[in-house]
Amino acid sequence: MINTFIGNLGHFSAILAFVSALVAAYAYYQFTVVPELEKPSWRRFSRISFYVHSVASFAIAISLFEIIYNHRFEYFYAYSHSSMALPVHYMVSSFWEGQEGAFILWIVWNVILGLVLIHTNKFWEGPVMLVFALVQAFLVSMILGVVIGDLKIGSSPFILLRDAVNAPIFSINPDFVPEDGTGLNPLLQNIWMVIHPPTLFLGYASTLVPFAFLMGGLWTKRYSEWVRPALPWAQFSAMILGMGIIMGAYWAYVTLNFGGYWNWDPVENAVYVPWLILVAGIHTMITYKKSATALKTSMVLIIASFILVLYATFLVRSGVLGDSSVHSFTDLGLSGQLLIYMLFFLFVAVFLAARNWKHIPTSEKEASVYSREFWIFIGATTLALMAFQVILPTSIPVWNAIVESFGGISNMAPPADQVGFYTKFQLWFSVALALLTAVGQFFWWNKMDAKKLRETLVTPYIVSVLLSAVIIVWGKVFDLSYIILVIAATFTIVANSTILFQLLKKSTFKLTGGSLAHIGLGLILIGVMFSSGYSEVISHNLSGLTYSNSWEDELNKEHVLLWINKPTQIKEYTAIYKGRHKKVVGVPGYVSANILEPTGNVNEALALDDVVVRGRTYHQKGDLVNIVLEENDYFRIDYFKDEEYQFTLHPMSQYNENMGLISSPDSRRFINKDLYTFVSALNDFDDPEWRDDELYEVSPGETFYIADFVTTFEGGEVVNELPGVTLKEGDVAVKAHLVIQDFGVEKRLSPIFIIRDNQLGKIPAIDNELGVRVEVDNIIPESNQFSFKVNRYQKDYVVLKAIMKPQINILWAGTIIMLIGFCVAIYRRYDEFSKMRDKGLE
Amino acid sequence: MKKGHIIGLGIIAVAIVIIITSIGDASTYESFSTAKEMKMRGDDKPIHVVGELKKSVAGVVEGIEVNPDKTSFYFMMVDADGTSQRVFYNEPVPPDFARAEQVVVIGSYRTEDLFVADKILMKCPSKYQETEVSNAGI
């Protein structure tokens, strides 16, 4: 039965949220401009309308989740993003898999931030919430789903399946509800994908807060006061956005087979750029608070960071990236709306800033080279140039679209070697950044002149040169640009650690945010340099196969073919592929797919043998067991070194009806490196093409060869019972016992031969792993020989890529230290703001 | 000259370098015939070609030859102008390669007859556009 109530509730809530956002915007406008006496009543009205908006926004989210949670596949959203087999935590991922759900997430975060702001501010509530309400109106319009004439506003997630697709079934039975949905993209079935999008969207949402304070400041002519309340929020936003980026990188590292954590994909660049600009903005805001310079720069950077977040959204969601990105969304017809949204705020911001530009206080005096303002300004400029270098090529598809919309032809494409292209710039910018963070911190905490600077820097300089010499020699860093990077990164770590200890000795931890974040930066640079610069593909093909055309032999084959059971050299390891495995509910580790026979029910299998892990029997032969996602295959690969067992990895592949094959890596984590492996091609033995018949006549006890397998025919045995076959009186059933050896692995195959009233029945034995099918073709009593008919297919195999990534843990450690630094800084700045507020000054 | 001006000029200089390198390093979309002309001129810069896999009349993808060690393969691709071209890719066949609706190869001609792809982007039938509803459960 189709439940239309919940969809109507959601749709109604969306309309209510849209209208109440507009009402709240108007009310907050009035609240800000009316005389003091009328303010209380306008404030009450504004707040009520924003509360109504908040309730409606939550109702949208709850309705959509209810549809997914209760498997209401009559709705297009549930049908196309979830399925019955999905556990609850992945239903959460289904919620934001679609664009509409992502917008709802964004709306909800804005509501929460808005509610926090209403209750933590006094003077700023009016202008800030006006900006919030306007942004909300734009965001809600994305999911409105209202059609006026030819104009479609927003794409509603609450449309019914029968309205979304044109399937003949609906004309026969309009109340048809599919039994199951098409499921969640398997790449998103990962715990990091449950928490990465909300984090990233909180980062997106929170860039609005400093922007709203700035707009409010420009509007109410409080050109400088906005900095204090905006600063902790800008830091919060940068921290959350940074965390979101890192989670995305980590997710890519553990689930995607791109070979790394960062790929300079347009979607990644689109969030990296606003983050850089926001970080630059935080630095100039801090200088402004200390010495009344760089106010205009801060304004430009805060506006840019907010607009760039909208630009990122536009890039990712408008379909303009087309084939230049691996994971851009298809166009939902929202690109026009997104463009209007972005241009509206760009125009308003530029207009307000331009109108007030000459009133904005500036400091006339030229900053001295020995002032901290000077160095921070250079640092912010470097960050902005880094961002510019990334956003420019990322926007090539936009450029093409613009040229084409004016009737021109532009065939520009993004750089062919993205990693090389971005690295050659970002590397040197990072070196500059590392040096600036080191020097800048000394300027920050001390009054400097030329002599003092030399005295202060000489010790950290010597220490860091010695330290980097050790790193360079021990890490075998012999590339000049990498050597410079190591020196710069070590310098910032040493210099900032010095400051950190001085601060801890002298005062409290509250002031250490900056030095911690900069230490994190230094570690990140070293970690990235080692793990990416010195990542080494170790899976070279040493099979010795050569081709007729010699040029191919000169190419590096970066993958290695592993035949089942056959030891293969991968650098210092010997790897042996041991067959496909599954995860079974309640059983630790992996269970061989050989002993699991699918029953035809979802995620259910029959155990063909006892399921034993580490000496403990979890299931008996003949039990029905539950498989964790049956489409997942785990390929067990054992690694040996000098004949000694080292470890086992299980890279995964998943067959998905909609997405095809998907491969996920498995890594061996060492303290100083990761061995990262994934399966890049595999054998498809669902429907093997058996080769021509081969006939063997052998006597019991005799040994013969099937291909290169040593095979022993142990003998025939007359059996009285056969599973699945009822034997009648007078039937003769003979089971032949064959033992096949393959690299020390013994496989027993027992084909069966049945004689019934002069009729012959043959039940073949098949081993998929070896690609062998054996049938008893005949029994020759005269010579006491069995005639076997053998068909072969190829043995099971996987093609593996293995990459060594040194020192990747330094990178992860660096990101954590940087995030802690941000948290300390947020605490300090929020503390400052709330003290001022409580004094009634803000 | 004031320090501010020097810095300003420095920023502009760096920005110009960035713009010029971005344009210089940007690849282009070509057809196989224009790509071949580039090779003839001695221009080895990797370019993008958009096209489809060659299909037989029955709609079956043809011309995929996998090397014996399965780590590289050849395939036939037809660009937007209808030119067929044999392409080599030094990677295993990407999963679901034969199902790709559109293929973008990034690379260049090695010889007159062989295009070598450094990278392949595929557009597969996306689940977002799935419009068929299975008749299960009727």
State the Rg of chain A over Cα: 33
- What integer pLDDT is reported at residue B63 of this predicted model? 85
B5, B38, B69: best to mutate for the A interface, most A CBs within 10 A = B69
A97, A388, A395, A568: best to mutate for the B interface, most B CBs within 10 A = A388
Q: Which helix (H) or strand (E) holds A116?
A: helix A99-120
pTM: 0.89
Q: How far is A812 from chain B (nearest CA, A)?
A: 29
| Spatial separation of the C-alpha atoms in residues A592 and A578, rounded to whole Å | 9
Among the partner-chain residues B47, B121, B129, the one whose CB lies closest to the CB of A323 is B121
Nearest chain A residue (CA) to B25: A415
Q: Please judge whether B129 and A330 are an interchain contact, meaning their C-beta atoms are less than 8 angstroms apart.
A: yes
Q: Please judge whether B18 and A388 are an interchain contact, meaning their C-beta atoms are less than 8 angstroms apart.
A: yes
| Spatial separation of the C-alpha atoms in residues A495 and A319, rounded to whole Å | 46
- Partners of A326 on chain B (C-beta within 8 Å) are 121
- Partners of A98 on chain B (C-beta within 8 Å) are 128
Q: Please judge whether B118 and A659 are an interchain contact, meaning their C-beta atoms are less than 8 angstroms apart.
A: no
Provide the 10 A C-beta neighbour count for residue A139: 22
| Spatial separation of the C-alpha atoms in residues A63 and A66, rounded to whole Å | 5
Closest CA to B21 of A378, A428, A422: A422
Q: Please judge whether B7 and A381 are an interchain contact, meaning their C-beta atoms are less than 8 angstroms apart.
A: yes
Q: Which residue has the tokens 């709330």?
A: A834
Q: How far is A307 from chain B (nearest CA, A)?
A: 20
Encoded amino acid at A635, one letter = F
Q: Please judge whether B70 and A411 are an interchain contact, meaning their C-beta atoms are less than 8 angstroms apart.
A: no
Strand, coil or helix: A246:
helix
Residues of chain B above pLDDT 90, percent: 16
Q: Which helix (H) or strand (E) holds A504?
A: helix A480-506
Nearest chain B residue (CA) to A375: B7
Confidence of residue B137 (pLDDT cuts 50, 70, 90): very low
- Partners of A96 on chain B (C-beta within 8 Å) are none
Q: Which helix (H) or strand (E) holds A49?
A: helix A39-69
Half-sphere exposure (CA, 13 Å, Cβ side) for A485? 24
Q: Which residue has the tokens 């050597």?
A: A483
Strand, coil or helix: A690:
coil
- Partners of A182 on chain B (C-beta within 8 Å) are 127, 130
- Partners of B93 on chain A (C-beta within 8 Å) are 681
Among the partner-chain residues B26, B127, B131, the one whose CB lies closest to the CB of A658 is B127
Nearest chain A residue (CA) to B134: A178
- What integer pLDDT is reported at residue A630 of this predicted model? 78
β strands within A506-603, DSSP E: 536-537, 560-563, 568-570, 573-582, 591-592, 596-598
Q: Please judge whether B67 and A547 are an interchain contact, meaning their C-beta atoms are less than 8 angstroms apart.
A: yes
Q: Torsion-angle region of residue A547: left (phi > 0), alpha (psi -120 to 50) or beta?
A: beta
Residues of chain A scoring pLDDT < 50: 328
| Spatial separation of the C-alpha atoms in residues B128 and A98, rounded to whole Å | 9
Closest CA to A269 of A347, A346, A343, A325: A325
Q: Please judge whether B14 and A559 are an interchain contact, meaning their C-beta atoms are less than 8 angstroms apart.
A: no
Nearest chain B residue (CA) to A559: B71
- What integer pLDDT is reported at residue B129 of this predicted model? 38
Contact A75, A158 (CB under 8 A): yes
Sequence-distant (6+) residues with CB within 8 A of A759 are none
| Spatial separation of the C-alpha atoms in residues A632 and A186, rounded to whole Å | 10
Q: Please judge whether A366 and B68 are an interchain contact, meaning their C-beta atoms are less than 8 angstroms apart.
A: no
Among the partner-chain residues B70, B92, B96, the one whose CB lies closest to the CB of A660 is B96
| Cα A608 to Cα A100, A460, A564, A616, distances in angstroms | 46, 67, 21, 17
| Spatial separation of the C-alpha atoms in residues A608 and A630, rounded to whole Å | 16
Per-residue H/E/C for chain B? CCHHHHHHHHHHHHHHHHHHHHHHHCEEEECHHHHHHHHHCCCCCCEEEEEEECECCCCCECCCEECCCCCCEEEEEEECCCCEEEEEECCCCCCCHHHCCEEEEEEEECCCCEEEEEEEEEECCCHHHCCCCCCCCC
Positive or negative: CA dihedral A428, A429, A433, A439: positive
Nearest chain A residue (CA) to B102: A323
Burial pattern A669-681, b for ≥16 Cβ within 10 A else e, equals eeeebbbbbbbbb
Q: Please judge whether B121 and A330 are an interchain contact, meaning their C-beta atoms are less than 8 angstroms apart.
A: no
Strands A560-563 and A797-806, how do they pair? antiparallel
Among the partner-chain residues A166, A385, A680, the one whose CB lies closest to the CB of B92 is A680
A680, A796, A803: best to mutate for the B interface, most B CBs within 10 A = A680
| Spatial separation of the C-alpha atoms in residues A340 and A333, rounded to whole Å | 13
Q: What is the mean pLDDT of chain B?
A: 81
Among the partner-chain residues A389, A416, A557, the one whose CB lies closest to the CB of B71 is A557
The token duo for A547 is 């081709």
Q: How far is A451 from chain B (nearest CA, A)?
A: 21
| Spatial separation of the C-alpha atoms in residues A603 and A573, rounded to whole Å | 35
Closest CA to A831 of A129, A229, A241, A227: A229
| Spatial separation of the C-alpha atoms in residues A14 and A317, rounded to whole Å | 20
- What integer pLDDT is reported at residue A693 of this predicted model? 87
- Partners of B22 on chain A (C-beta within 8 Å) are 389, 392-393, 415
Among the partner-chain residues A324, A411, A417, the one whose CB lies closest to the CB of B28 is A411
| A·B CB contacts under 8 A | 154
The token duo for A682 is 């595999």
Sequence-distant (6+) residues with CB within 8 A of A134 are A21, A25
Closest CA to B72 of A552, A175, A217: A552
| Spatial separation of the C-alpha atoms in residues A763 and B64, rounded to whole Å | 36
Sequence-distant (6+) residues with CB within 8 A of A64 are A10, A77, A95, A100, A101, A104, A157, A158
- Partners of A545 on chain B (C-beta within 8 Å) are 67-69
| Spatial separation of the C-alpha atoms in residues A587 and A585, rounded to whole Å | 6
The token duo for A84 is 């019955």
- Partners of B102 on chain A (C-beta within 8 Å) are 323
pLDDT, tens only, A553-602: 667 778 888 999 989 988 889 999 999 999 888 888 899 988 888 888 87
